[in-house]
Amino acid sequence: MKDATRLTRIGRPDHASGLVNPPIERGSTILAPSAGELYDAPPGRPHYGRVGLASQQALRSALEEMQGGAFCALTSSGLQANILSILTVCEAGGVLLATDNIYGPVRSFLTNTLPRFGVQTRFVAPDIGAEIGDHMDTDVQAVLLESPGSLTMELQDLPTIARIAQDKGITSIIDDTWSAGLTLKPLKLGIDLAAQALTKYVGGHSDVMLGAVVARTDALADRLRATERAMGFYAAPDDAYLAVRGLRTLELRMQRCADTSLQIADWLATLDCVGAIRHPARSDHPQHAVFKRDFSGSAGLFSFEVPGWRNADSETFLDALEIFGIGYSWGGFESLAIHCDPQLRRSATPARHEGALIRLAIGMEAPEDLIADLERGFAAVAAKG
């Protein structure tokens, strides 16, 4: 069954209600039918609200099925999904390898918080492939990837990295938010843990914060489940419901955003003032061959360089936009634009771009209106001289 079909059916209650969506069950206490069962609940019967009720269970099963994974843990944000993945496999005295393009707050966790628990991070090139083996000293416990990186858009060679990591007994983790687990199937490429901010495309309407981690093997599933339980990671029933609902239309929405993003990227490429366009689905992206090999489709999030622009020019450009909002996050129905430079951090590799880097998160609006809006932005910068 294709994802488009599967996503219309997942999470249906199997009882006689006839409803096509899971109920939203709220609860902390779940009364045990007998004292004996208080400490010995039969498999499948939740004993306490924190482990998740109908809508959370529907979402877990849906994501396990979509990814082909053994277990899905839910978290209350995408940032937490990354953190849960790391805490599942890293131990004091170990080292995590992370690509230099990972999401900023995850990077802050790695550099500011994780060392307090005895785990150090070494950053590696964001477009790394087989060379990752050279960094895998005996103290390395895990590799954290983000492909493409959500600002700078470099891709990694996932199957190669997964194979080398497996050979050395190192766990591979990906933040797979860009593809929403739809156009990339990281576990099928051998990656061990796929973390995702469901806040983005799966939620799809900029009204939910949620994350998920799916484990590839039963052994990792046990460790992920145990860590999720021990640390009290939790997702609320209403949010899980919204994510299941978002899955129904995920393919359609992503297709629309991706198509529009490519139209806009093509238009940007005709402008003299615009430099490199960083869109993995374009043939001029440096790792486009990897994209074509590993992904079945695109998303609507990409960046472009404007040589010669300083921060003030980016701000003039953004302030002139009337349809694009200026704001964090992406994957919603509305288009957003940000200037990336103030938040770019690199330690393994220099940030390789000229002038300013602008990121566009393309939503559902008509492409012509978005292009007219961007024209307004460029005109405002030109008018300032």
**E strands present in the chain:** 71-75, 95-99, 120-124, 140-146, 171-175, 193-197, 211-215, 277-278, 301-306, 325-326, 336-339, 356-361
Closer residue to ligand PLP (CB): 203 or 378: 203
Peptide bond into 105 cis (omega under 30): no
Rg over CA atoms, the chain? 21
The two beta strands, 301-306 and 325-326, are unpaired
Closer residue to ligand PLP (CB): 156 or 177: 177
Closest residue to ligand PLP, judged by C-beta, is 78
Q: Which of 74, 83, 128, 209 binds ligand PLP (CB under 6 A)?
A: 209
99 lines the binding site for ligand PLP (CB under 6 A): no
Q: Which of 158, 180, 197, 361 binds ligand PLP (CB under 6 A)?
A: 197
Q: How far is the CB of 19 from ligand PLP (least distance, A)?
A: 28
Helix axes 237-248, 54-67, angle to 10 degrees: 40
Q: Which of 3, 64, 175, 228 binds ligand PLP (CB under 6 A)?
A: 175
199 lines the binding site for ligand PLP (CB under 6 A): yes
77 lines the binding site for ligand PLP (CB under 6 A): yes
Gap between the Cα atoms of 82 and 208, Å rounded: 17
**60, 107, 185, 200: which one is catalytic?**
200
Known catalytic membership, residue 168: no
Q: Which stretch binds ligand PLP (CB under 6 A): 58-66, 76-84, 272-280, 345-353?
A: 76-84
Return the SS3 of 359. Answer: strand
Q: How far is the CB of 21 from ligand PLP (least distance, A)?
A: 23
Transcribe 248-315 into DSSP letters. Answer: HTHHHHHHHHHHHHHHHHHHHHT-TT---EE-TTSTTSTTHHHHHHH-SS--SEEEEEETT--HHHHH
332 lines the binding site for ligand PLP (CB under 6 A): no
Contact 92, 118 (CB under 8 A): yes
DSSP 186: G
Cβ count within 10 A of residue 284: 11
Structure tokens at 198: 């469901």
Q: Which of 22, 69, 78, 300 binds ligand PLP (CB under 6 A)?
A: 78
Q: How far is the CB of 111 from ligand PLP (least distance, A)?
A: 16
Structure tokens at 11: 């999470």
Letters for 123-152 (x = contact with ligand PLP by CB under 6 A, - = none) are -----------------------x---x--
Q: Which helix (H) or strand (E) holds 223?
A: helix 218-231
Cβ count within 10 A of residue 225: 17
186 lines the binding site for ligand PLP (CB under 6 A): no
Closer residue to ligand PLP (CB): 99 or 260: 99
303 lines the binding site for ligand PLP (CB under 6 A): no
**100, 127, 157, 175: which one is catalytic?**
175
Known catalytic membership, residue 50: yes
177 lines the binding site for ligand PLP (CB under 6 A): yes
211 lines the binding site for ligand PLP (CB under 6 A): yes
Instruction: Please tell me the count of residues contacting ligand PLP according to CB under 6 A.
Output: 14
329 lines the binding site for ligand PLP (CB under 6 A): yes
361 lines the binding site for ligand PLP (CB under 6 A): no
Gap between the Cα atoms of 204 and 254, Å rounded: 9
DSSP 48: B
Q: How far is the CB of 67 from ligand PLP (least distance, A)?
A: 16
**Residues designated as active site:** 50, 103, 175, 200
Residues that bind ligand PLP (CB under 6 A): 77-79, 103, 146, 150, 175, 177, 197, 199, 209, 211, 328-329
